[in-house]
Structure 1
Amino acid sequence: MNNLFKNMRIWAVAAFVLSLCVFSSCDTSDDDVVLGAWQQGPDFAGVGRSSAVSFVINGKAYVGTGFDGNNRLKDFWMFDPATGNWKRLADLPGEARSGAVGFSANGKGYIGTGYTGDGYLKDFYEFDPAGNQGNGQWTQIADFPASARYGAIAMSFETKGYVGAGYDGNYQKDFWQYDPATATWTEQTGLKGAKRLNGFTFTVNGKGYVGGGQNNNVYQDDLLEFDPATGEWSTKKNLNTEQRPEEEYPALRTFATTFTVNNKAYLVAGTNGAANYLDAWEYDPLSDTWTQLTNFTGGGRLGAIGFGIGERGYIGLGNSGNIRYDDLWILNPTIAND
């Protein structure tokens, strides 16, 4: 009889818990799904390197310069995601460099600034992918009008490019626009937040965003938004618990990699100086919120390249300590790993 009452009590508790689950959605299996499926893509055809530049023109990625651990580089490559092929193009005509910036605007690419191993650079070059019988043609344009530097930021909006911040012996926060139609540089309102070296940047829905990096060896937690229509900066919520209580967000870092896919931005890898990150994050500018995705499976690294083409994001190269990578990884941000 005691066993009967004991079993009845167990069944009653189970029924009560089940009823709570019905009304409070105890089944969190959908909520627990972490999106972001990674797969390895075709290895980069050049030597492994870090602090290279990349940009996209007409659905193809262009990658070049960087540091292989011994030498600065000036070779330049095209990646076609439709075929998975890499093709070497005409080398950058200026000095070999790492820590440069690159952007595309008006159907052409641009590379400038950087570090030679002995000094900083301010020269700039325009790349026409249709020139030289499809091998690409370089033309030197007006130098970056501010100080020579490396570790700067760059972004573009269809017909114009923007470059700023970085390090010229001092940390900087200036910001400049390049207009290919007039071949001129014009100074813009400087970053609203801190100066920074090796910050991250991305563009989404016609706005540009800047964050991360270091200022006087302090990792920055601000997130800035730039509106090219007004030329003004505004601030989003900082990456800290004070402004994002009970929210998830990326840890502070430098040398992170970013790309944009389907009006969302993605931030991957980077370092806090003590360790290289494996985490990957999706940023929604409409809600100013971050969502953590499946960790990057290619190994922690810093100074990688990143770009978005179609429905996929790509990250590759970079370094971890003395190891320079020559791999390429592809992210489908809308599905979970098997």
Structure 2
Amino acid sequence: MKKFLKITTIMGLIITMVNCNNDDEPINEVPTPVNQKPNAFNLLSINNNAVFAAVKPTLKWETATDPDGDAVEYFLRLDESPTPTTLVKGNMTTTSYKLEDRLSLDKKYYWQVAAKDSKGNTTKSDEIFSFTTRNLNFNNTPVTSNAAFTARNSHTSTVYDNKMWVIGGHDGNERRDVWYSTDGVAWFSATAGAAFSARNYHATTVFDSKMWVIGGLNGSALNDVWYSIDGVGWWPASTSASFSPRFGHTAVTFKNRMWVIGGDDGSIKNDVWYSPDGITWIEATANAAFSGRAYHTTVVFDGKLWVIGGNGGGLDYKNDVWFSEDGVTWTQATSNANFSERAHHTTAVFDNKLWVFGGYNGSSNYKNDAWYSEDGITWLEATSLTPFSGRYGLTSATFDNKIWVIGGYDGAYKNDVWVMN
């Protein structure tokens, strides 16, 4: 019996030692598969190097399949860099996207799409595509060839209260009527006889939630200042402002002030005036760096005042461009822009560019070319021949993301309205 117990004990020790040795051996585990990124895919359209592309294009690409069956989302990057980094839209599950924000005209863009699976692995499209957007579209026919207001030139146009407005001008006689439109087609009379006297070659701006009419010509030069909150009732802020009576001047709103620049008071002016209220007018400079001029244009662009072209008297037509950050110090952007010398033209700010249309330079040929610039220095011709007739004394307005050209004189007074986008 003792012998049996001894043998049993020895066997137990052996089994225990074997089991301990087995515990020291590694366990062969099945490795976890490495998650794979989505498969390669291609961009489809807009075609690479496309031109005349829409400013709100639809971009398309192939489906990026995932080897592991993971869900895939797409991320679209687009900008002006050859390696675009600006995220336009992310977390998309579709393979196309129509841009919501309008792109600039005549600009080259680059785009690429990245496919990202639910584990965070990413594959970028094999290529980066580029395209160039179209330039300004000119409709071949006017939105109206015969607006409700009489045919005229040397009027003013502005945008106020979500409407376009036409004020005064000359149709064979000076006018003091005020018209408005929400679509450029249907025009309504706010008043046939505003409280201010009939006039042309006046200036208009919007300031302090009001429309303002400043100076002009009615047999003699004027320096009165009027305002309205509705286009119907007009009130005098000043019957005789501090600046001399004048016409062919310009007015704009800049840095919470109204500004009056240049014009003709019997001599051609290059003074600059401003007002915080339309009543008190302060001379910023009596003699700006640019030469005296009338029938020029002034706009606010890129945080600066810009003066473009005009007439210095007689046949002294100009195509220089000047800018100022304070109305006192003026810098010449160019002494000789690519467009020809002119006055009685119109200038619009649209698509982060300056646009110049039409005008007159003393010849019998009225102009209907269109030019644009991103910096006031380099000017490019959008077209040498717009669909509307050559004319001067026309006006323009930027409204509803379009440029509108209104009236003018082409040998006859005009009351047509044209739109460009």
Aligned length: 286
Within a 5 Å distance, the mapping from 1:132-143 to structure 2 comes to: 136-142=232-238, 143=240
Q: What does residue 80 of structure 1 align with?
A: 182
CA deviation after TM superposition for structure 1 residue 84, in Å:
4.1
Q: What does residue 298 of structure 1 align with?
A: 388
Q: What does residue 350 of structure 2 align with?
A: 261
Q: What does residue 17 of structure 1 align with?
A: none
Q: What does residue 404 of structure 2 align with?
A: 314
Classify the secondary structure of the residue corresponding to 2:404.
strand
The whole-number CA distance in structure 2 between the counterparts of 1:296 and 1:59 is 27
2:369 pairs with 1:273: no
Classify the secondary structure of the residue corresponding to 1:221.
strand
Q: What does residue 113 of structure 1 align with?
A: 215
CA deviation after TM superposition for structure 1 residue 33, in Å:
9.4
Unaligned runs of 5+ in 2: 1-48, 53-105, 107-131
CA deviation after TM superposition for structure 1 residue 191, in Å:
2.6
- Contact residue 194 and residue 220 of structure 1 kept, 8 A: no
How has the CA–CA distance of structure 1 residues 76 and 166 changed in structure 2, closer, same or farther, with 3 Å as cutoff? same
- Contact residue 278 and residue 300 of structure 1 kept, 8 A: yes
Q: What does residue 35 of structure 2 align with?
A: none
Within a 5 Å distance, the mapping from 1:108-257 to structure 2 comes to: 108-116=210-218, 118-129=219-230, 136-142=232-238, 143-157=240-254, 159-180=256-277, 183-189=279-285, 190-217=287-314, 218-228=316-326, 231-239=328-336, 249-257=338-346
Q: What does residue 35 of structure 1 align with?
A: 135
The residue type equivalent to 2:397 in the other structure is F
CA deviation after TM superposition for structure 1 residue 291, in Å:
1.6
CA deviation after TM superposition for structure 1 residue 56, in Å:
1.4
Classify the secondary structure of the residue corresponding to 2:324.
strand
What is the TM-score of this pair, normalised by structure 1?
0.78
CA deviation after TM superposition for structure 1 residue 231, in Å:
4.2
Classify the secondary structure of the residue corresponding to 2:223.
strand
CA deviation after TM superposition for structure 1 residue 34, in Å:
7.4
Greater shift, 94-103 or 152-161, is seen at 152-161
Larger Rg: 2
The whole-number CA distance in structure 2 between the counterparts of 1:273 and 1:251 is 12
Within a 5 Å distance, the mapping from 1:88-103 to structure 2 comes to: 88-90=189-191, 91-103=193-205
Among 282, 286, 294, the alignment partner of 2:372 is 282
Higher relative contact order (CA 8 A, sep 6+): 1
The whole-number CA distance in structure 1 between the counterparts of 2:288 and 2:253 is 16
The residue type equivalent to 1:283 in the other structure is S
The residue type equivalent to 1:306 in the other structure is S
Unaligned runs of 5+ in 1: 1-26, 130-134, 241-248, 333-338
Task: Compute the RMSD of aligned alpha carbons.
Answer: 2.3
How has the CA–CA distance of structure 1 residues 329 and 85 changed in structure 2, closer, same or farther, with 3 Å as cutoff? same
2:168 pairs with 1:65: yes
1:170-224 per-residue CA deviation (whole Å, 9 max, x = no partner) reads: 11111111212x7421111243110001112222122111021111321123211
Classify the secondary structure of the residue corresponding to 1:145.
coil
Q: What does residue 93 of structure 2 align with?
A: none
- Determine what percentage of the aligned residue pairs are the same residue: 24
The whole-number CA distance in structure 1 between the counterparts of 2:254 and 2:261 is 15
CA deviation after TM superposition for structure 1 residue 76, in Å:
0.4
Q: What does residue 123 of structure 2 align with?
A: none
CA deviation after TM superposition for structure 1 residue 254, in Å:
0.8
2:158 pairs with 1:55: yes
